[in-house]
Amino acid sequence: MSPVGAQRARAAFLCACALDVEVRKPGNVSRASPGHGMTAELFISSATAAAEALFQPGARVGERIEAAVAASWAVAGCNTNLGIVLLCAPIARALESLPPAVPSPTQLQSEVEAVLTALDLEDARAAFRAIAQANPGGLGAAPREDVRAVPGVDLRAAMALAAGRDAIAREYRDGFPLVFGQGLAALGAGFAPHADAASGAPDRATEAAVQRLYLTLLARVADSHIVRIHGEAVAQTVMAAAQPWLDLLHAGARPGDDAAFAAWDASLKAARLNPGTTADLTVATLFVAGLVRPA
């Protein structure tokens, strides 16, 4: 990746992480609504800290994950972005094998698939150490290839074993179909991430697109973080609650202006329901959207 390409990739990542907290996404931390013992500023600091490791030239995926999680932990003292790092590290690595021209979504996804295919045991060892350090909520113990033990298989194979209980693991197993499929489609043709340079506040079209992306994923896929901590039935209720808001967005309404939308956000936080995996997938999709040619 050229210096210009590296700079553009880093900027796309930081923009995606900024939009993650600039736009209200019910259940997740935002500038308008801190929660789960965390603030938006903590997420921004973590993203800035992680960026150097994620875009380290020549680094393998596992190295990027381990170094980025360590850097984030050093500034935040808690897990703010493990899922984001896990999703974005293969994308960052894939960019180094592409020509300087802005890739199409298909070109980038194809190169991500090549990166996933090449993952090895060293990648697994580094990623396992990072996951164990971050210690995400509801991690528990796995019957095979537990992250607190030394892995016996490559990282993609380990993710395949976890795919039944984790959406990020399924992305590794299946070649990122949510990010490049439903995710980009939800943003819509021609979407270009944009935040005001002075205030960081997104324009209204960007806000609507981010909420449409988030609510699409939330309504279609049971959030792994909620499932691990609260169970499948609770995750299904959150999915059902997301659908009416998604319908309103498709009808041209602006949930961000509705007090009931903010109330739903507050109620999820009060019940300690954090759709964290959905937020991670949202950031990864926004990152990709900032890298590729609009469809």
Q: Is the pLDDT of residue 6 over 90?
A: no
Q: What is the mean pLDDT of residues 223-240?
A: 95
* The pLDDT value given to residue 194: 62
Q: Is the pTM of this model over 0.85?
A: yes
Range of the domain at 249: 3-289
Query: Which residue matches tokens 């609510």?
Result: 215
Per residue in 257-266, pLDDT (tens digit) is 899 999 999 9
Query: Considering the domain boundaries, does residue 259 fall inside one?
Result: yes
Please give the pLDDT value at position 171: 98
Q: Give bridge partners of residue 268 from the DSSP assignment.
A: none
Residue 272 within any structural domain of the chain: yes
* Residue 294 domain-assigned (yes or no): no
CATH number at residue 54: 1.10.4200.10
Q: What is the pLDDT of residue 295?
A: 62
Give the count of domains, the chain: 1
In a domain, 44, yes or no: yes
CB atoms within 10 A of CB 197: 6
Q: What is the pLDDT of residues 90-149, one digit of tens each?
A: 999 999 999 888 899 999 999 999 999 999 999 999 999 998 888 764 444 444 546 656
Q: How do residues 273-285 score in pLDDT, each as one tens digit?
A: 999 999 999 999 9
Average pLDDT over residues 144-159: 78
**295 lies in some domain:** no
pLDDT of residue 197: 44
**What pLDDT is recorded for position 189?**
77
Q: What is the mean pLDDT of the chain?
A: 90
Range with lowest mean pLDDT among 67-81, 129-143, 180-194, 196-210: 129-143
What's at 20, amino acid-wise? Answer: D
Q: Per the domain annotation, does 233 fall within a domain?
A: yes
